[in-house]
Each structure stands twice: as C-alpha cells, then as structure tokens.
Structure 1
Amino acid sequence: MLRQSFIEELKKLENSLLEMGNVVKQMLENSKTALLERDEELAKKVIEMDDIVDKYNWDIEDKCLKLLALQQPMAHDLRVIAAAMKIISDIERMGDYCVDIAKFTIELIKMPSLPINEALIKMFELVEKILCDSLEAFVNRDVNFIISVVEQDDAIDRTYYKIYDEIVEEIEHAPETAPQQIRLLMIARFLERVADHVTNVAERIYYMETGELKELHE
C-alpha cells in the first residue's frame, strides 16, 4: 500500500513537471508572436507567466524533498526524483530567457520597425521543436529519441551564427539600425540559451533511464 502511494505521488510530480514545461512552451510561442506582430500586451503576458513557472518550481522541489524524506525510493525512483530537481531548474531558466525576449520585444516595439530576420524566425521554430521533443522524451523515456533531441542543438547553433553574421553585415550597411539589430541579436542569443537548457533536460532524462551521467552534446 505504501509503495502504491509512492508511485501515485511520483506520477503527480511528473505531471506537474510536464505542466511546468508546457507553460514555458506557451511563453516561447507567445514571445515569438509578440515579436512578429509587435504585440506589447502579449509580451507583457509572457513576463507575467513567469510567476506561474516560479510557483511550479517551488512546488515541485517541495514534492521532491517530501518524497525523499518520507519514502524510501528504490534506485530508479531515486534517479527520477534527483533528475526532476535538476530539470525544473533548467525549465525555470528557460522561462527567464522567454521573459528576456519579451522585454527586448517591448523595447523594439517602441523603435522604428525593421523586417525580422528570416533566420531568427527559423530559430524560434527550431527551439520550439526541441523543447516539445524534450517533453515528449520525458513522457516516453526513449533513450534513442533523447539522443536525437540533443543532436538538434547543432542546427540551432548554426542558425545563431548565421543570424550573427547577417546582423553584423546589416549594421555595417545601415548603422542607424544598430539599436534594433543588437536587440534582435540578443533575442537570438536568448533562444540559443533556451536550447542549451533543453539539452541539459535531455541529459537528465538519459540519466533517469540509464543511471549514467553523460554529456550527450559534443
């Protein structure tokens, strides 16, 4: 009976972690829409949603500590709890970067409008996909799929460097656009950091399933 109760509590913890990840996924989608549509209210909503992420972070950490203190988790269960505590920290940081994107978007809205770099739009889409895939990997516990999630980060890094080169070139040709271009470059940088944290999540899921702490991204 005690074991069944533990399994139920562990499932609730996992569901809460997924809900937290989905909030950040929505923040990322909203931040892209706010940038493309110059929607200040939507950008402000992204900033407000960070409170929800922070609450999940504290609540899940509290659940983890209680499960460790009140139960006697077996090896795999112990890894799930340990990984969950690390994963929520990474998800919380992703939320922070979405807030940073929203803040820069609000600044851009107050400036003369510039066409959004196509590679930046692509980068949003790539980061959204890797985040969705990491949540799917958490549900399915498929080690091969986890590795494929990490491999997607290479395309995101290449896209970031492409954006960097294009923005530097734009500033050279039109120096007056530098304030906007620099903010767009920073948004790309925040997206690259989100992807790095997604990679961390994938590595924790790999640890959960294999017991091996391994850097999957080389």
Structure 2
Amino acid sequence: MKNTPPHIVTAYEDALKRLKSGIVQMAGAAETQIDQTLACLTQRNPDLAREIVDADLHLDSFEHEIEASCMRMLVLRQPVADDLREVIGALKIAGNLERVGDHAKNTARRSVELVEGPDGPPIGSLPALGRLVRERLTAVIDAYVDRDVEAALRIWRSDQEVDELYTSLCQGITESGRRSGEQFTQHMHLLFIAKSLERIGDHATNIAEVVHYVSTGRPLLEERPQSADRNRSQD
C-alpha cells in the first residue's frame, strides 16, 4: 500500500474502524440478550422470554451486515497480513456472537416451558453460571478492542472454571430428577439450559483464540484446559 493515495488509505482505515465498531455493537446486543435471558430465568417471565426470541433476529442482522462489510473489504481492498487477519477475525467473532444469541434464545424458550408447566424444581446455580459466562464474554470483547493478548489468554486458560460449575450443576439437577421422577421433563429443560449457558462460555473462549491470532498471527496450539470430569465424558 506504499503507493496508495492518502485518501484511499484513510477510507480503508475508516472501514476497518467501522468493522471493529460493528463487532462491539453486536457484542453489546449479545450481552443484553444474555442479561434478559437470566432475568427471564429468575423471574419466570414468559413475556420477556418471547421478547428475547424476537430479539435474536436483530443479532442475526448484525452478523449479515458484518459479513457483507468483510466481503466488500476482501474483494475491493484485498487486505494482507495484519489487515487480512483483522477482517477474517471479525468474521469469526461475528459467527461466535450469533451462536451466543442462539443459545440465549434457546434458554429463553426453555424458560417458557418451565413457566407454563406445573411448579418446577429450583434452578440452582444456573444464574451463577449465566453470570460467569456473561462476564467472560464482556472480558474477551474488551481484549479484542484493546488487542490485549494476555487478557485473551487468561480467558482462554480459565475455561475450566465454567466446565467445573457446569458439571456440578448438572450433577445437582440429575440428582434432583432422580428424587422427583414426575418432574422429569422440567429437569431435562434445566439440563438443556445449563448446556446452552456452558456453550456461551465456549464461544467466549473461541473468541479469545481469534483475538490471539489476530494480534500475533499465530494460532493457539496449546490444548484447551478442561475439567477432569468433562475430559472423562468426552473419552
């Protein structure tokens, strides 16, 4: 780009800034969706749950806009090196944020089933798991904005904390289900909600990997830390 006119360089830099801003806005929408999902879960509010399901379309539109921006930049600007990683990274992060919204939506739908059924079992540590993965998502987006590789690595290496809480939570739900077989369906809803929240944590970890690659140009080759119980379940 040495011989590129200054006004073209400025336009290109502005496009990269808008792309990054779009990711931040999409992340904010995903965080709001998680907050509403947790409120829906604790308040057992079916109206709020339906709003969350409808709001997922807004997150999908963010992803489509970011994809279109990335495609235009790839075709028209043909970025290389750092700039190319920035564009590819934005695509990957947008995809992960869209999946975060899907998991929030699924949790909201399950919450509706809990509300509309008979008095169900206690939700246990589900809100705590939700708050934990929400905090991780916020932290990894901050790392993306700041190009903070160390912060991204801390998030990536602390995935075990989510796994351990998830495993403990599932054990509690399963034990409760054994004691009250008549509420089998509701306990299954709780297990699916726990899995959706745990997957949000996985997407935050995926984004941490992207941040590391965008910032350093190197993929993370370490094995992702996991709890012993989760490793056994995958053997």
* Shared fold per TM-score greater than 0.5: yes
Deviations 1:146-170 (A, max 9, x none): 0111123211111111011111111
- Partner Cα distance (2:175, 2:21) in 1: 46
Q: TM-score, normalised by structure 2?
A: 0.89
Q: 1:57 to 1:132 in 2, by over 3 A?
A: same
Deviations 1:116-151 (A, max 9, x none): 333212101111111111111111111110011112
Report the counterpart of residue 211 of structure 1 in structure 2. 217
1:194 to 2:200 alignment:
yes
- Partner Cα distance (2:71, 2:159) in 1: 32
Cα drift, residue 87 of structure 1? 1.1
Report the counterpart of residue 141 of structure 1 in structure 2. 147
- Partner Cα distance (2:183, 2:78) in 1: 60
- Partner Cα distance (2:33, 2:61) in 1: 15
Farther off after superposition, 197-206 or 147-156: 147-156
Moved over 6 A (4+): none
For structure 1, the 5+ residue unaligned runs are none
Count of aligned pairs between the two proteins: 218
1:36–1:116 Cα contact (<8 Å) kept = no
1:2 to 2:2 alignment:
no
Q: 1:207 to 1:196 in 2, by over 3 A?
A: same
Report the counterpart of residue 4 of structure 2 in structure 1. none
| AA of the residue aligned to 1:167 | I
Report the counterpart of residue 51 of structure 2 in structure 1. 45
Q: TM-score, normalised by structure 1?
A: 0.96
- Partner Cα distance (2:121, 2:138) in 1: 27
Cα drift, residue 175 of structure 1? 1.2
| AA of the residue aligned to 1:78 | L
* Pairing partner for 1:132 from 124, 138, 144: 138
Cα drift, residue 179 of structure 1? 1.6
Report the counterpart of residue 97 of structure 1 in structure 2. 103
Percent of aligned pairs with the same amino acid: 30
Cα drift, residue 50 of structure 1? 0.8
* Pairing partner for 2:191 from 174, 185, 196: 185
Q: 1:188 to 1:16 in 2, by over 3 A?
A: same
- Partner Cα distance (1:142, 1:50) in 2: 29
Report the counterpart of residue 35 of structure 1 in structure 2. 41
Q: Which has the larger radius of gyration?
A: 2
* Pairing partner for 2:118 from 97, 112, 117: 112
Deviations 1:69-96 (A, max 9, x none): 1114241111000111111111111111
